[in-house]
Protein backbone atom coordinates (compact mmCIF):
# COMPACT_ATOMS: atom_id res chain seq x y z
CA UNK A 1 0.00 0.00 0.00
CA UNK A 2 1.67 3.18 -1.23
CA UNK A 3 0.74 5.82 1.35
CA UNK A 4 2.73 8.58 -0.35
CA UNK A 5 2.60 8.84 -4.12
CA UNK A 6 4.46 10.93 -6.64
CA UNK A 7 2.71 10.13 -9.89
CA UNK A 8 5.07 11.98 -12.20
CA UNK A 9 8.37 10.07 -12.57
CA UNK A 10 10.00 12.98 -14.38
CA UNK A 11 9.64 16.67 -15.16
CA UNK A 12 11.57 18.88 -17.55
CA UNK A 13 11.49 22.68 -17.39
CA UNK A 14 13.41 25.56 -18.87
CA UNK A 15 15.83 27.55 -16.73
CA UNK A 16 14.11 30.54 -15.14
CA UNK A 17 10.65 29.00 -15.32
CA UNK A 18 8.62 27.51 -12.47
CA UNK A 19 8.95 23.84 -11.51
CA UNK A 20 5.95 22.25 -9.81
CA UNK A 21 6.35 18.84 -8.23
CA UNK A 22 3.29 17.07 -6.88
CA UNK A 23 2.66 14.55 -4.12
CA UNK A 24 -0.47 12.79 -2.87
CA UNK A 25 -0.99 10.89 0.35
CA UNK A 26 -3.66 8.58 1.65
CA UNK A 27 -3.07 8.40 5.42
CA UNK A 28 -5.06 11.11 7.20
CA UNK A 29 -2.83 10.64 10.28
CA UNK A 30 0.10 12.28 8.49
CA UNK A 31 0.63 15.73 9.91
CA UNK A 32 4.14 16.66 8.85
CA UNK A 33 5.50 16.69 5.33
CA UNK A 34 8.99 17.11 3.96
CA UNK A 35 10.74 17.39 0.63
CA UNK A 36 14.18 15.93 0.06
CA UNK A 37 16.49 16.43 -2.90
CA UNK A 38 18.87 13.74 -4.11
CA UNK A 39 21.80 14.04 -6.48
CA UNK A 40 23.30 10.89 -8.10
CA UNK A 41 25.55 8.87 -5.79
CA UNK A 42 24.61 11.03 -2.80
CA UNK A 43 22.11 10.63 0.00
CA UNK A 44 18.89 12.67 0.12
CA UNK A 45 19.23 16.13 1.64
CA UNK A 46 16.45 17.95 3.47
CA UNK A 47 14.95 20.80 1.48
CA UNK A 48 11.78 22.15 3.10
CA UNK A 49 8.95 21.00 5.34
CA UNK A 50 5.41 21.93 6.34
CA UNK A 51 3.21 21.15 9.28
CA UNK A 52 -0.43 20.26 8.74
CA UNK A 53 -1.50 23.37 10.64
CA UNK A 54 -0.19 25.46 7.75
CA UNK A 55 -1.06 25.55 4.07
CA UNK A 56 2.10 27.21 2.81
CA UNK A 57 5.75 27.42 3.74
CA UNK A 58 8.33 29.40 1.85
CA UNK A 59 12.13 29.31 1.88
CA UNK A 60 13.83 31.38 -0.78
CA UNK A 61 13.05 29.95 -4.20
CA UNK A 62 11.21 26.98 -2.68
CA UNK A 63 7.57 26.98 -1.57
CA UNK A 64 5.55 24.02 -0.38
CA UNK A 65 1.75 24.11 -0.51
CA UNK A 66 -0.47 21.74 1.45
CA UNK A 67 -4.12 20.99 0.63
CA UNK A 68 -5.32 18.76 3.47
CA UNK A 69 -8.81 18.23 2.10
CA UNK A 70 -7.35 16.87 -1.12
CA UNK A 71 -4.48 15.13 0.66
CA UNK A 72 -2.13 16.81 -1.78
CA UNK A 73 1.04 18.83 -1.52
CA UNK A 74 3.24 20.48 -4.07
CA UNK A 75 6.71 21.96 -4.24
CA UNK A 76 7.22 25.08 -6.32
CA UNK A 77 10.69 26.16 -7.41
CA UNK A 78 10.90 29.69 -8.81
CA UNK A 79 13.01 30.45 -10.73
CA UNK A 80 14.35 27.03 -11.64
CA UNK A 81 18.11 26.70 -12.07
CA UNK A 82 20.19 23.96 -13.74
CA UNK A 83 21.61 23.07 -10.30
CA UNK A 84 18.11 22.12 -9.22
CA UNK A 85 18.27 19.08 -11.52
CA UNK A 86 17.91 16.14 -9.14
CA UNK A 87 15.44 13.57 -7.82
CA UNK A 88 12.89 15.07 -5.43
CA UNK A 89 11.25 12.92 -2.78
CA UNK A 90 8.14 13.79 -0.87
CA UNK A 91 7.95 12.30 2.64
CA UNK A 92 5.38 12.26 5.42
CA UNK A 93 5.25 11.43 9.10
CA UNK A 94 2.68 11.25 11.86
CA UNK A 95 2.97 12.68 15.35
CA UNK A 96 1.19 9.63 16.63
CA UNK A 97 3.94 7.27 17.71
CA UNK A 98 6.37 10.18 17.64
CA UNK A 99 9.23 8.12 16.22
CA UNK A 100 10.31 10.32 13.36
CA UNK A 101 9.62 7.53 10.88
CA UNK A 102 9.27 8.94 7.37
CA UNK A 103 7.24 7.41 4.55
CA UNK A 104 8.67 8.39 1.17
CA UNK A 105 7.15 8.70 -2.27
CA UNK A 106 8.79 7.18 -5.34
CA UNK A 107 10.51 10.38 -6.36
CA UNK A 108 10.31 12.75 -9.34
CA UNK A 109 13.35 13.43 -11.48
CA UNK A 110 13.57 17.12 -12.32
CA UNK A 111 15.65 18.30 -15.26
CA UNK A 112 16.20 22.02 -15.65
CA UNK A 113 17.46 22.87 -19.12
CA UNK A 114 19.75 25.90 -19.63
CA UNK B 1 29.87 19.35 11.20
CA UNK B 2 30.89 16.04 9.69
CA UNK B 3 28.06 14.21 7.94
CA UNK B 4 26.82 10.65 8.24
CA UNK B 5 29.59 8.28 7.17
CA UNK B 6 28.86 4.96 5.47
CA UNK B 7 31.08 2.20 4.12
CA UNK B 8 31.62 0.56 1.78
CA UNK B 9 30.25 2.69 -1.08
CA UNK B 10 29.74 -0.29 -3.34
CA UNK B 11 29.48 -4.03 -2.82
CA UNK B 12 28.91 -6.88 -5.26
CA UNK B 13 28.17 -10.34 -3.90
CA UNK B 14 26.61 -13.56 -5.10
CA UNK B 15 23.26 -14.71 -3.80
CA UNK B 16 23.40 -16.68 -0.55
CA UNK B 17 26.55 -14.85 0.52
CA UNK B 18 26.60 -12.51 3.50
CA UNK B 19 27.40 -8.80 3.61
CA UNK B 20 27.70 -6.08 6.24
CA UNK B 21 27.37 -2.32 6.05
CA UNK B 22 28.69 0.22 8.53
CA UNK B 23 27.37 3.62 9.54
CA UNK B 24 28.69 6.37 11.77
CA UNK B 25 26.06 9.05 12.47
CA UNK B 26 26.56 12.74 13.08
CA UNK B 27 28.15 13.27 16.48
CA UNK B 28 25.56 13.64 19.20
CA UNK B 29 22.66 12.30 17.13
CA UNK B 30 20.73 9.86 19.27
CA UNK B 31 18.47 8.47 16.57
CA UNK B 32 19.78 6.31 13.73
CA UNK B 33 17.85 4.85 10.81
CA UNK B 34 18.59 2.30 8.10
CA UNK B 35 16.62 2.72 4.87
CA UNK B 36 16.54 0.51 1.78
CA UNK B 37 16.09 2.21 -1.58
CA UNK B 38 15.33 -0.08 -4.50
CA UNK B 39 15.85 1.42 -7.96
CA UNK B 40 12.87 3.54 -8.99
CA UNK B 41 11.38 3.61 -5.50
CA UNK B 42 11.61 5.86 -2.50
CA UNK B 43 13.59 4.91 0.60
CA UNK B 44 11.86 2.41 2.88
CA UNK B 45 12.62 2.26 6.61
CA UNK B 46 14.19 -1.00 7.75
CA UNK B 47 15.05 -0.21 11.35
CA UNK B 48 15.23 2.75 13.73
CA UNK B 49 17.42 3.01 16.84
CA UNK B 50 17.11 5.45 19.71
CA UNK B 51 20.55 5.37 21.32
CA UNK B 52 21.23 1.62 21.34
CA UNK B 53 17.63 0.48 21.61
CA UNK B 54 15.38 -0.55 18.70
CA UNK B 55 12.35 1.74 18.23
CA UNK B 56 10.91 0.27 15.02
CA UNK B 57 11.98 -2.81 13.08
CA UNK B 58 8.57 -3.75 11.72
CA UNK B 59 9.77 -3.79 8.10
CA UNK B 60 13.08 -5.54 8.69
CA UNK B 61 13.14 -9.07 7.14
CA UNK B 62 14.40 -10.62 10.34
CA UNK B 63 15.02 -14.03 8.82
CA UNK B 64 17.97 -12.61 6.88
CA UNK B 65 18.60 -9.03 8.04
CA UNK B 66 20.06 -7.99 11.38
CA UNK B 67 21.29 -4.69 12.76
CA UNK B 68 22.96 -3.51 15.90
CA UNK B 69 24.06 -0.25 17.40
CA UNK B 70 26.48 -1.00 20.16
CA UNK B 71 27.26 1.83 22.58
CA UNK B 72 24.62 3.99 20.89
CA UNK B 73 26.97 5.41 18.27
CA UNK B 74 27.86 3.58 15.07
CA UNK B 75 25.80 0.80 13.60
CA UNK B 76 26.09 -2.23 11.35
CA UNK B 77 23.47 -3.79 9.10
CA UNK B 78 23.98 -7.38 7.99
CA UNK B 79 22.31 -9.53 5.37
CA UNK B 80 22.75 -13.29 5.55
CA UNK B 81 22.04 -14.95 3.18
CA UNK B 82 21.52 -12.36 0.45
CA UNK B 83 18.86 -12.71 -2.23
CA UNK B 84 18.69 -11.11 -5.68
CA UNK B 85 15.89 -8.80 -4.51
CA UNK B 86 18.19 -7.30 -1.87
CA UNK B 87 19.98 -5.37 -4.61
CA UNK B 88 19.44 -1.76 -3.55
CA UNK B 89 21.08 1.27 -2.01
CA UNK B 90 21.22 1.07 1.79
CA UNK B 91 21.00 4.48 3.36
CA UNK B 92 21.86 5.35 6.92
CA UNK B 93 20.39 8.49 8.46
CA UNK B 94 20.52 10.17 11.83
CA UNK B 95 18.67 12.90 13.66
CA UNK B 96 19.24 14.76 16.88
CA UNK B 97 15.79 14.10 18.27
CA UNK B 98 13.39 11.24 18.03
CA UNK B 99 10.50 13.47 17.13
CA UNK B 100 8.36 13.38 14.05
CA UNK B 101 9.51 16.76 12.77
CA UNK B 102 13.26 16.41 13.05
CA UNK B 103 14.84 16.38 9.58
CA UNK B 104 16.90 13.31 8.87
CA UNK B 105 20.50 13.64 7.72
CA UNK B 106 21.43 10.90 5.26
CA UNK B 107 24.76 9.35 4.36
CA UNK B 108 25.71 8.69 0.74
CA UNK B 109 24.62 5.08 0.96
CA UNK B 110 26.03 1.68 0.07
CA UNK B 111 25.02 0.31 -3.31
CA UNK B 112 24.60 -3.47 -3.08
CA UNK B 113 24.42 -5.67 -6.15
CA UNK B 114 23.49 -9.31 -5.64
CA UNK B 115 24.22 -11.56 -8.64
Each residue's pLDDT expressed in tens, for chain B with a length of 115 residues: 689 999 999 999 999 999 999 999 999 898 999 999 999 899 999 999 988 899 899 999 999 999 999 888 999 999 999 999 999 999 999 988 755 567 889 999 999 999 9
**Of B64, B23, B41, B58, whose CA–CA distance to A38 is shortest?**
B41
CB B21, CB B6: distance < 8 Å: yes
Say whether pLDDT at A111 is over 70: yes
pLDDT for res B99: 58
Say whether pLDDT at A85 is over 90: yes
For residue B91, what are the β-bridge partners?
A: B35
Residue A107 touches partner B, C-beta closer than 8 Å: yes
Predicted confidence band of residue A96 (pLDDT cuts 50, 70, 90) = low
Asked if the Cβ–Cβ distance from A106 to B48 is below 8 Å, we say: no
**Chain B residue with Cα closest to A6:** B42
Q: Are strands A72-77 and A4-5 parallel, antiparallel or unpaired?
A: unpaired
Q: Are strands B75-79 and B19-24 parallel, antiparallel or unpaired?
A: antiparallel
Tell me the shortest Cα–Cα distance from A95 to chain B, in angstroms: 6
Greatest C-alpha distance within chain B = 39
pLDDT digits (tens, 9 = 90+) for A28-65: 989 899 999 999 989 999 999 999 999 999 999 999 99
Q: B41 to chain A: which residues are within 8 Å by CB?
A: 106-107
Say whether pLDDT at A100 is over 70: no
Asked if the Cβ–Cβ distance from B101 to A44 is below 8 Å, we say: no
> What does the alpha-carbon distance between residue B104 and residue B97 come to, in Å, rounded to a whole number?
9
pLDDT for res A98: 54
pLDDT for res A68: 95
Amino acid sequence: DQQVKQNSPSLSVQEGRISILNCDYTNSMFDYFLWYKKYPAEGPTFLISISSIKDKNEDGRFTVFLNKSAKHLSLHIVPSQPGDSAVYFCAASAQSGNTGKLIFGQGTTLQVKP
Amino acid sequence: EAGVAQSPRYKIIEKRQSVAFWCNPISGHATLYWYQQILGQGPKLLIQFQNNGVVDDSQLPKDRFSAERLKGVDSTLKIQPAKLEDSAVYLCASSSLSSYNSPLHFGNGTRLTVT
